[in-house]
Amino acid sequence: MQRFILGSRNKIAFISGALILAAFLSKWTVGNLAVFEGLLIIASILGTLPIAIQAYQALQVRVVSIDVLVTIAVTGAFFIRNFEESAIVTFLFLFGAYLEQRTLNKTRSAIKELTEMAPESALKQMEDGEFVEVPVDEVDVGDVLLVKTGAKVPVDGTVLAGEGSVNEASITGESIPAAKDPGSRVYAGTILDNGTLQIVADRVGEDTTFGRIIELVEEAQDSKSEAERFIDRFSRYYTPAVLVLGLLTWLFSRNIELAITILVLGCPGALVIGVPVSNVAGIGNGARHGILLKGSEVISDFSRLDVMVFDKTGTLTIGKPVVTETEYYDSSIDATLSYLASVERESDHPLAKAVLEAIGETSYFPVSDTEVVKGAGIIAAVDGRRVAVGNQALMEREGVQLNEKARADIARLEKNGSSLVLTAVDGELKVIMGVRDKVRSGVKGDLQRLRRLGVKQLVMLSGDNQGTVDAVSRELGLTEAHGNMLPEDKAAYIKRLIDEGRIVAFVGDGVNDSPSLALAQIGIAMGGGTDVAIETSDVVLMNSDFGRLPHALGLAKATARNMKQNIAIAVGVVLVLLTSLIFSDWMNMSIGMLVHEGSILAVILNGMRLLRYRLPNRLTRGI
């Protein structure tokens, strides 16, 4: 019976409202007071049932809840034959709960939308080569799947065949479809806008990026910040205190109506709900924009951030070295590039890959007598010639003469932060290539936005040499930049900042960044980074989109402000109501309950504004 009554709360609220309306219509039209009072009594009893049941359940676990206060107040009003007050208060309380639930459901719409996007089936290739539709739970790692136009990608995988455009908004927040061809990565929950793809499953079920997103957002929305924990503790003592105040008022004044009115006016509903609704809405906004905020505690620390520390490779830079500049010292360019490509093809060094990519299509020669000079480069015989490929130290070892132009070029490229690949053929310098890990597009503007959001220091830590680090720092306008840093050096630097009382965020993407991500108050991982970095972090930028970082910080600050506003609204309304009760004669139980429910809706609607949050234009102008 209790379950049935609680399940019918909304119906009871509307029936109670209809009875109250009928009662007043009978009084205003035919003036029948017996019908008026009878309908109000029925409305009071009916409305009190679900409230009293919840009060009883709360008292069973030794909690004096809002329902307890309202039940006592309504019962008191009923027995002093103030049926208007008892009926109206129960209706307003139930109707307010209905509106609260409706609006709170909207704040959780982000996680609801995510779960609805989860794929339910997949076209799996069977042993006979045919593709058969199966539940997504029956897909295993290594299975080959077919994805058709308009279908959801069922797993994280790699494209084996076909081409198409995939809408990855559910993962990255980016609405522009991403082109996919053989070798491209695809993610569960994304939608193939056009084309047909065959993919091999790399991750399935909860292990997919999409599954992890849902899990992280659910955990984040269920977590509590220090502010919420404080309010929980506060309300645990505040509600019994209101009950005691009402009792004392009755004992000293013998005015039971005043006492039960105090019980209604002192309900802390808006205070209890104000902070959680802000956090849930903020986390939901982040999820929609490709930002995972792992809990409300993260939001609190993030909003007070004053130092942001970055890893370089893969964070501020793309993480893939490319040849940015080439200088030639001989007219036989094609032959020299063929010799260089032949040697570099023997190496798996990142610089070698960058050089081969820059050279492109060329002819190759057999390579023999290869000698690797540690820390300097490679010497080999190619087409009967002695070819040396490496740094300046290797050229000096080989006795290669560097003219003034070559030395000037070397100095300029090193100043720009480039790693040098020099090539000599039979003791003569032929070509110098400058290789750099390019800065991510738009990073400089994003860093300026972070400054405008109040970040006082922007620091870069990298394992690269100091010259390269300084060049990137000058280009981006960073506060500090430190090179030759091992993982333990980065962690020690973070610890020193924290010991100085700074609130520090660290942004990285690799396994070597995990100690720093864990140590900083706010660890921010690039979503395309390693699993351990993502698990260790507090904030994840999906698809490694650095441009999401200013939005994430702005959202955290907006959410923290919203929490404070909601607390101010809740406390302010209670103070105004109690003051009005003491110093005026117009305040009564019905008006108090109406204002009380209005304050709850006010904090919910204020929190819901965060669902539409975007970085203000003033933070993007002039960049």
Residues near 407 by beta carbon (within 8 Å), at least 6 away in sequence: none
CA 591 to chain centre: 41
Task: Evaluate whether 431 touches 340 at the Cβ level (below 8 Å).
Answer: yes
Q: Is 538 a catalytic residue?
A: no
CA dihedral of residues 546, 551, 557, 558 (deg, nearest 10): -170
Task: Evaluate whether 613 touches 285 at the Cβ level (below 8 Å).
Answer: yes
Residues near 21 by beta carbon (within 8 Å), at least 6 away in sequence: none
Question: CA geometry: angle at 254 spanning 253 and 259, to 5°?
Answer: 80
What is the residue whose two structure tokens read 């209706």?
Answer: 91
Provide the 10 A C-beta neighbour count for residue 142: 10
Name the token pair of 101: 């639930």
List alpha helices for 186-225, DSSP H.
209-222
Report the alpha-carbon distance of residue 128 to residue 142 in Å, rounded: 16
Report the alpha-carbon distance of residue 286 to residue 130 in Å, rounded: 41
Task: Evaluate whether 297 touches 556 at the Cβ level (below 8 Å).
Answer: no
Report the alpha-carbon distance of residue 577 to residue 194 in Å, rounded: 60
Name the token pair of 577: 């109501």
HSE-CB for 473 with a 13 A CA cutoff: 23
The secondary structure of residue 510, as a DSSP letter, is S
Task: Evaluate whether 518 touches 294 at the Cβ level (below 8 Å).
Answer: no
Residues near 172 by beta carbon (within 8 Å), at least 6 away in sequence: 290, 527, 542, 543, 545
HSE-CB for 34 with a 13 A CA cutoff: 0
Name the token pair of 201: 């499953």
- The active-site residue out of 67, 156, 301, 311 is 311
Report the alpha-carbon distance of residue 362 to residue 343 in Å, rounded: 13
- List, in sequence order, every beta strand (DSSP E) within 260-366: 291-293, 307-311, 317-328
> Among 556, 525, 518, which Cα is nearest to 540's?
525
> Among 18, 23, 50, which Cα is nearest to 36's?
23
Residues in the chain: 623
HSE-CB for 328 with a 13 A CA cutoff: 9
Give the DSSP H or E segment for 86.
Answer: helix 83-107
Report the alpha-carbon distance of residue 317 to residue 280 in Å, rounded: 33
Indicate which residues carry an active-site annotation: 311
